[in-house]
Chains A and B, each alone.
Chain A
């Protein structure tokens, strides 16, 4: 499916013709989309569709075989530290150290991102996710929901242009999921550009301004989200049934 820009606004994130293979397996066969300021894309798809691969390329963790990724018009170049400064990733793994306190984790990441005054930034970030009281507690003592909140604080610490979310709701109970939804809603209100990847269609639709369905390495559907959720569910079910 050839898709051009998602909207008319200037592109914060632009992806063109992205391909990636692992050995003989083609994980991505040409992905195109563009997002403007404050727009968020939810990518749905069955397991093995290549959603995580797409996200990891956007995060700078993988290099694509072909195609280009542009942030605010600047081309992502191999090993580009400037690119990595512009993205934040929230995954279903916390990327945190259980043996360090919440504050120590954030200060460490602050140092890696060359954040000015990492300690102060860490305090602000903790307050922002409601964990200020637990700043000196080891992350190993945190509940799953608290870990996820801390992970969001970590991802936001360097004020990235683009937030990437890889199955963020997986493993969360009702309460934790509600808190996460609230936090993400706040991000959306702050007009942050986001790309969310999930196989759970309900969670993603709330946050997204645009929706894509990815199957077998490419987008089979891409467009802005309108009010008719049932139509999306039907399209998604059809797309995944075809894949089986």
Chain B
């Protein structure tokens, strides 16, 4: 077990080192996020609809699409020089590969979200500071489910002809639950609703995360063997 984590960590660290060196994917995701947030501003009539009403939806659509940009990166970088063969040749377990890639993706998407969130608060004049704790919790819950399934889907999508199109087609149906849960909880958090109203949604998000993290971890090796 500890060797599985050690291998997963080695893989994640390698991915993050590569990304840190080139920064291309990360910067692209950031620019994309800022642009999408800015465009949303022009997509609504500020006199008709208040920012707080639309804010949760805008935030989560932005997170989703920026996140999806980053997901294909994880297995895409193994195509260079057939590095994937190097990983499969090694004694590292397939599960360690999945866990490592998921950790790297979580770090990537988390970093994008960490920068997008204050930008969002700025653009839409939404006071986040008083509710930051619960908000971060919800973001973490939804992101975990999103990244776990997204990493698995991208391991398949990168082997198809139009990987960038294939990933959304495969992944978006699976994002219905995290997005509905995230938007509903975010809306209630921003309007300071009592905690009891959040509970059913939090339960749903947690159940989804547990189910799909376990399932994806177990099923991942079937996307690799030949």
Contact = CB atoms under 8 A, between A and B. Distances in A.
Interface in A218-244: none
Given A62-B226, A94-B81, A112-B7, A84 B90 contact: yes
Contact of A61 (B3, B88, B221): B88
Nearest to B81: A94
B8 to A, nearest CB: 10
Nearest to B82: A93
A62 B224 CA distance: 10
A95 interface: yes
Interface in B144-187: none
Nearest to B21: A99
A60 interface: yes
A89 B89 contact: yes
A94 B81 CA distance: 6
A interface, over-half SS: loop
The interface centre, meaning the residue of A98, A111, A112 with most chain B CB atoms within 10 A of its CB, is A112
Contacts of B94: 79
Interface residues of A, number: 29
B45 interface: no
A51 to B, nearest CB: 16
Interface string A74-86: 0000010110110
Given A100-B17, A104-B17, A95 B92 contact: no
A82 B92 CA distance: 10
Contact of A99 (B11, B18, B82, B91): B18
Interface residues of B, number: 28
Contacts of A89: 85, 89
A59 to B, nearest CB: 6
A63 B82 contact: no
Contacts of B81: 93-98
Nearest to B225: A63
A113 B89 CA distance: 10
Interface string A111-128: 111100000000000000
Given A63-B225, A63-B226, A91 B91 contact: no
Contacts of A95: 81-83, 85-86, 89
A154 interface: yes
Contact of A84 (B3, B10, B91): B91
B14 A81 contact: no
A168 to B, nearest CB: 14
Contacts of A85: 91
Interface of A: 59-63, 79, 81-82, 84-85, 87, 89, 91, 93-100, 104, 108-109, 111-114, 154
8 contacts: A61-B88, A84-B91, A93-B81, A94-B82, A96-B83, A100-B14, A113-B90, A114-B91
Interface of B: 3, 6-7, 10-11, 14, 17-18, 21-22, 77, 80-83, 85-94, 221, 225-226
